[in-house]
Amino acid sequence: MARRVRYKPYAQPTGGWGSVKSLGKHATRQRAVTTAGSLMKDHNKVGGYACTSCAWTKPGEPHLAEFCENGAKATFWDMTARRTTPDFFARHSVTELLGWSDYDLENAGRLTHPMRYDAKSDRYIQVPWAEAFADIGARLKSYDPKKTVFYASGRASLETSYMYQLFARLYGHNNLPDSSNMCHETTSVALPQSIGTPVGTVLLDDFGKTDCILSFGQNVGTNSPRLLHTLQQVRERDAPIVVFNPLRERGWESFVNPQRPGQMLTNAPTQIATQYHQVRAGGDIAAMLGIGKAVLALHDTAKSAGRPPVLDEAFIAEHTQGFAAFEARLRETGWPEIIEASGLPRAALEAAATTYAGAKAVIAIYGMGLTQHRLGVDSVQMLVNLLLMRGQIGKPGAGICPVRGHSNVQGQRTVGIAEKTELVPLDRLAEQFGFEPPREDGMATVDTCEAIIAGEIDAFIGLGGNFVRAIPERELMEAKWGGIDLSVQIATKLNRCHLVTGRTSYLLPTLVRSEIDHQTSGPQIVTIEDSTTCIHASRGKWKPAAETLLSEPRIVAEMAKATLPANPKVPWDEWVGDYARVRDAIEATYPDQFSRFNQRLDIPGGFPRPVAARHREWETDSGKANFKLPSGLSASFDDGTDNTVLRLITLRSNDQFNTTVYGYDDRLRGIHNSRMVVMINPDDRIRFGVAAKGRVRLTTAVDDGIHRSMGGFEVVDYDIPSGTCAAYFPECNALLPLWHHAQESKTPAAKSIPIRVTVE
């Protein structure tokens, strides 16, 4: 029986009692061995462990409880009392498990033993670690390394990630796709061209000095809730926050800080957004052009009235290139086009421009609402253009702030998990480890999917993640996975990717970050990099879920040892015995980024990696910050004149971490009991002849010979611009064509799938 949706708009603030109640529910249901009290002591604290949930930074002076509802949920689920033992796999065939929901699979608990798939009995069967490593090594030795892929999801530590990329390169390939390819790859392509850095320029300190925040396409209440504490402080200084989002996300509207007893008692929320603009999906380039145009008009007026300029003319002259062409674009783009493409009235964009123009120090925050579009790179660069007009990069209280996803996704890139060789110091690796690394670019996520579909991949190793569930074109990908000779998944909990098997499949269970990682030199520390380039140490506190688990560094080292000839310069065992030695190796490869690495582990708030743009040094081709012209007004597909096609946004609920579904409630959006929901504008619903709360089928509206269609959705009348609708990821990934991605970064355009809605 399909679940029926219960919808009641959420009138409560984010945080507050709602979050406390939800936290309690998850702690109890998982019978977790952690408690709120122990979370308070160790979670995101110096001497404790770094949260595995989001990548938002950890302050130097933490709150009593430096965790949020969702970080606590992730930890309770990691520390669950449930186990998927060999006995569990004896009871359930893989075919049976393929019928389970994402929720039920992860809810089965922590993996405990290394397992190999046995096709005859259609079951995973326990295998000794040594046998697993020997077989994986022997198989890898038999393949052409260029036909193998080492995927990484963004949780593994800097130490594991460094070892993993080195393993790939010693073995002979750069095929290192990671979750970032589906996420902030757009940022990694856009920002270097604009300002010469692949990462944001803002530090947490800057929020204490900012006068104004602009936010595009990010859902703070669900995906980075600890940032709400900072935003609350910004609002208490009366600095405005201007939000662009098709949905009125509760986190941007109002917040009660659960750590402030006074506010909890009165339940009087802090209003977060001072302006809220419900742009249509993919309408941000146009909206930002409108803001830029209005800023220019304010500048013209100020100049002719003899008032101080609105643009930072000195900054533009000294630090930037391309302003004249950008100014011409702003002047020649007409308001009717801007209004049409953004879906916003001129007055709204002028109001945003006036607020922006009136502030001395401005931070721009963004997330998947910008990066996951056909013109995602242009969208991010347009946001940088806006900042550059007024010299808002490279000074206190200002800058660009991509809010990253996985807790170490940015760090993985920093230490070499990248398919693009230009991002990796190959010469230094060659010298340090005495080998000749492969020099041609490897495959990113979309390339990997194409190669799997073409039957060209012999082996896939997954360091965490849920690849087949997270990528586009799910049905085709699942059908083709059986052609892979060796599929190895290093994981903490069961997910669908483990059940879509290759000819030989291994499931290797590992520790989570909050567990004690004991090696020959004692309990180990690992490190991660947050969204603001700060490096933090993490020490596990909990007894491992099973004695049979190995740490990620150990698993990577054992696979490498079984595959590669011995090399005295790569002391795998010594590294595993003491992760400080891995950090020494990282420092030797990246001396500027990680100087005195082991000595700086416990600096409160982490230590920042240097970012040249913070000091107005521009490591771009021109040596300046570049104004980049957008190649179109709409970041989405061209919808021409066909108004039966909607732009489908796929997004996260408040009860999930990516493909890990914690429950069926999206409390902050008021949606309960089901995830098979389409949030739709009532005018569109009526236009398509769908009854209120009716059942619909979504069909991808492209003409490429592949039929992509899913039924069983219930419509919910929602406050969303006409022409835009929304539903949940990962359920909708079967609707997303593999080729529908950002033009330059190949990030899947998951925020604008062209779909048609039909009554079921």
Ligand X SMILES: Nc1nc2c(c(=O)[nH]1)N[C@H]1C(S)=C(S)[C@@H](COP(=O)(O)OP(=O)(O)OC[C@H]3O[C@@H](n4cnc5c(=O)[nH]c(N)nc54)[C@H](O)[C@@H]3O)O[C@H]1N2
Buried b / exposed e over 676-695, threshold 16 CB at 10 Å, is: bbbbbbbebbeebebeeeeb
Dist. CA 383–CA 8, nearest whole Å: 34
> Residue 58: in which H helix or E strand, if any?
none
Distance in Å, CB of 325 to ligand X, minimum: 25
Q: Which of 181, 185, 163, 165 is nearest to 173 (CA)?
A: 165
* Binding at 54: pick from Mo ion, ligand X, none (beta carbon under 5-8 Å per type): ligand X
Instruction: Write down the least CB distance from residue 407 to Mo ion, Å.
Output: 11
Residue 308 burial (10 A CB sphere; 0-12, 13-18, 19+): exposed
Does 183 contact Mo ion by CB under 5 A?
yes
Q: How far is the CB of 430 from ligand X (least distance, A)?
A: 28
Interface with ligand X, residue 729, by CB under 6 A: yes
The piece of 40-48, 391-399, 484-492, 680-688 that touches ligand X (CB under 6 A) is 484-492
- If one asks whether residue 407 binds ligand X (CB under 6 A), the answer comes out as no
Nearer to Mo ion, 55 or 242 (CB): 55
Give the range of 117-125, 276-284, 312-320, 389-397 binding ligand X by CB under 6 A.
276-284
Within residues 88-107, the interface with ligand X by CB under 6 A covers 106
**For residues 744 and 729, what is the distance between their CA atoms, to the nearest angstrom?**
23
Select the span of 69-77, 276-284, 399-407, 695-703 touching Mo ion (CB under 5 A).
399-407
Q: Is 464 one of the binding residues for Mo ion (CB under 5 A)? A: no
Query: What does the per-residue mask of binding to ligand X show for 200-239, with x meaning CB under 6 A?
Result: ----------------xxxx--xx----------------
Contact range with ligand X by CB under 6 A, out of 41-49, 346-354, 648-656, 683-691 = 648-656
Return the range that interacts with ligand X (CB under 6 A); candidates 43-51, 508-516, 576-584, 611-619.
508-516
In this chain, which of 50, 168, 239, 247 binds ligand X, going by CB under 6 A?
247
Say whether residue 179 binds ligand X (CB under 6 A).
yes
Stretch that binds ligand X, among 192-200, 478-486, 606-614, 732-740 (CB under 6 A): 732-740
Spatial separation of the C-alpha atoms in residues 39 and 76, rounded to whole Å: 10
Partner whose footprint covers residue 495, from ligand X, Mo ion, none (CB < 5 to 8 Å by kind): ligand X
Give the one residue of 43, 139, 226, 652 binding ligand X; rule: CB under 6 A.
652
Q: Which tokens is 608 given?
A: 């920042």
3-state helix, strand, coil in the chain (%, to 5): 40, 20, 45
Nearer to ligand X, 75 or 620 (CB): 75
End-to-end CA distance of the chain: 16
Which among ligand X, Mo ion, none contacts residue 391 (Cβ within 5 to 8 A by kind)?
Answer: none
Binder of ligand X out of 213, 424, 651, 734 (CB under 6 A):
651
Q: Dihedrals φ, ψ of 216, to 5°?
A: -125, 120
For residues 16 to 55, the per-residue mask of contacts with ligand X, x marking binding by CB under 6 A and - elsewhere, is ------------------------------------xxx-
Q: Side chain identity at 197, as an amino acid letter? A: T
Which position among 145, 196, 221, 405 is part of the footprint of Mo ion (CB under 5 A)?
Answer: 405
Stretch that binds ligand X, among 148-156, 165-173, 605-613, 674-682 (CB under 6 A): 148-156
Closest to 79 (Cα-Cα) out of 523, 549, 513, 661: 513
Q: Considering the complex, what minimum distance in angstroms separates the CB of residue 183 from Mo ion? A: 3
3-state secondary structure of 227: helix
Sequence-distant (6+) residues with CB within 8 A of 226 are 44, 54, 56, 66, 67, 68, 71
Residue number, 52 or 257, with CB nearest to ligand X: 52
Does 369 interact with ligand X (rule: CB under 6 A)? yes
Q: Confirm if 438 and 175 have CB atoms less than 8 A apart.
A: no
The verdict on 57 binding ligand X (CB under 6 A) reads no
Closest approach, Cβ 65 to ligand X, in A, equals: 17
Interface map 527-556 toward ligand X (x if CB under 6 A): -------------------------x----
Residue with smaller CB distance to Mo ion, 405 or 730: 405
Handedness of CA 607, 613, 617, 618 (dihedral sign): positive
279 vs 742, beta carbon nearer ligand X? 279
> Quick one: 50 or 287, whose CB is closer to Mo ion?
50
C-alpha pair distances (Å), 263 with each of 70, 71, 186, 397, 663? 20, 21, 39, 27, 28
Q: Could you tell me which residues are beta bridge partners of residue 115? A: 126, 507
Q: Given the complex with Mo ion, which of 92 and 652 has the nearer CB atom?
A: 652
The smaller minimum CB distance to ligand X, of residues 320 and 700, is found at 700
Task: Report the residue number, 367 or 391, with the smaller CB distance to Mo ion.
Answer: 367
From ligand X, Mo ion, none, which one binds at residue 633 (CB under 5 to 8 Å depending on kind)?
none
Residue 470 binds ligand X, judged by CB under 6 A: yes
Residues 705-708: contacts with CB under 8 Å, at least 24 apart: 706/476, 706/737, 708/475, 708/734, 708/735, 708/736, 708/737
Of 28-36, 41-49, 281-289, 606-614, the window that binds ligand X (rule: CB under 6 A) is: 281-289
Using omega within 30 degrees of 0 as the cis cutoff, is the peptide bond preceding 730 cis?
yes
d(CA 247, CA 250): 9
Q: For the sheet with 212-216, list strands across it.
A: 275-277, 241-244, 212-216, 362-366, 399-402
Phi and psi (nearest 5°) for 275?
Answer: -135, 140
| Residues belonging to the chain | 760
Calpha distance 50→575 (Å, rounded): 21
Task: Choose the binding region for ligand X from 278-286, 420-428, 577-585, 705-713 (rule: CB under 6 A).
Answer: 278-286
Q: How many residues bind ligand X (CB under 6 A)?
A: 62
Q: Which of 84, 210, 681, 733 binds ligand X (CB under 6 A)?
A: 733
Q: Which is nearer to ligand X, 396 or 712 (CB)?
A: 712
Find the binder of ligand X among 649, 668, 696, 725 (CB under 6 A): 649
Instruction: Give me the least distance between CB of 189 and Mo ion, in Å please.
Output: 15
Q: Is 599 exposed, middle or buried (0-12, 13-18, 19+ CB in 10 A)?
A: exposed
User: In angstroms, what is the minimal distance from the CB of 650 to ligand X?
Assistant: 4
Give residue 236's identity as a one-letter amino acid code: E
Helices 376-389/323-332 angle, 10° precision: 100
Closer to ligand X by CB, 370 or 486: give it. Answer: 370
Residues 6 or more apart from 282 whose CB is under 8 A from it?
Answer: 373, 374, 375, 634, 635, 636, 637, 647, 751, 752
- Does position 355 interact with ligand X (CB under 6 A)? The reply is no
Are the beta carbons of 664 and 672 closer than 8 angstroms?
yes
What DSSP character marks residue 700?
E
Q: How far is the CB of 659 from Mo ion (least distance, A)?
A: 11
- Residue ranges in contact with ligand X by CB under 6 A: 52-54, 70, 106, 153, 155-156, 179, 182-183, 216-219, 222-223, 244-247, 249, 279, 281-282, 284, 367-369, 372, 405-406, 463-467, 470, 490-493, 495, 510, 512-513, 552, 649-652, 656-660, 729, 732-733, 736, 750-751
- Residue ranges in contact with Mo ion by CB under 5 A: 183, 405
